[in-house]
Amino acid sequence: MILECTECHTRYLVPDASIGADGRTVRCASCKHSWFQAGVPVLDLVARAEHVPPVLVPAPTAPQPQSQSFRAEPPPEIAPPGSYPDYDAFAHEPPFRPRRNPARRWTMAAFAAGTAMLAGVGGLLYSDAPGFAGDLFRPVAPTPLKLVSKPVDRHTFNGNEIFAVSGTVLNPTDTRQAVPDIRADLRDAQKRIVFSWMIRPETTTLAPKAQIQFNSAKIDVPVNAQELVLSFSGEVAS
């Protein structure tokens, strides 16, 4: 029988027995399109088998140009029925490439960035890094500055209870010193911290033997606050 591809219309000469009475799935060798080819009735196969004429071999002649309507193509690929259940005639083929998963690329990029960050942190931890990095991973050295606080002024103003703190920062050394922030902790009778805040001094450095004043006030401080403890930022308050 003669088969014709329904997509590119390439024609093939195929023995009836290759298709059989039940038919089977075939695929075009030219464009890779597959389709189900119906079979030949059993009676027709028997009749053709009983009345097969003798095959006459013609004498060799000069090659004739082939007709454009029937091209000499390799036979189609015959496969058992159901061999290509997932075949897609419109699927990508070279030189096209399958689509990449953008979520996977972002995940890989985030993993690489995290690995590089951890490596950088490890390098800073095990090296003598100067500047900000070095200060970030080293303990804060205690400052030689001294704190002298005045008595707490606790009063009411316009219906709000005011908790005012003031004092002096002293530099007893002969060199200029950096002035850190001041931490104010209020503790109850059991020495537990019930309220805290930071006080920013008016200057960031203090000349040798010099001193500066600081003041701060808060409202609605817990009533069970009984003790004020001042310390420089980074130091452990006793």
pLDDT at 61 over 50: yes
Q: What is the pLDDT of residue 137?
A: 46
Share of residues in the chain with pLDDT > 90 (%):
23
Q: What is the pLDDT of residues 216-226, one digit of tens each?
A: 999 888 888 88
CATH assignment, 146-232: 2.60.40.10
> 3-state SS string over the chain?
CEEECCCCCCEEECCHHHHCCCCEEEECCCCCCEEEECCCCHHHHHHHHHCCCCCCCCCCCCCCCCCCCCCCCCCCEECCCCCCCCCCCCCCCCCCCCCCCHHHHHHHHHHHHHHHHHHHHHHHHCCCCCHHHHHHCCCCCCCCCEEEECCCEEEEECCEEEEEEEEEEECCCCCCEECCCEEEEEECCCCCEEEEEEECCCCCEECCCCEEEEEEEEECCCCCCCEEEEEECCCCCC
Q: What is the pLDDT of residue 120?
A: 74
Higher-confidence residue: 132 or 210?
Answer: 210
Domain residue ranges in the chain: 2-58+65-78, 146-232
Q: Are strands 34-37 and 24-27 parallel, antiparallel or unpaired?
A: antiparallel
* Mean per-residue pLDDT, 65-75: 54
Higher-confidence residue: 20 or 64?
Answer: 20
Distance CA 36, CA 19 (A): 10
Q: What angle do CA 232, 184, 181 make, to 5 degrees?
A: 35
| Residue 198 main-chain phi, psi, to 5 deg | -110, 140
| Residue 102 main-chain phi, psi, to 5 deg | -65, -30
From the list 91, 77, 95, the residue with the least C-alpha distance to 35 is 77
* Mean per-residue pLDDT, 49-55: 48
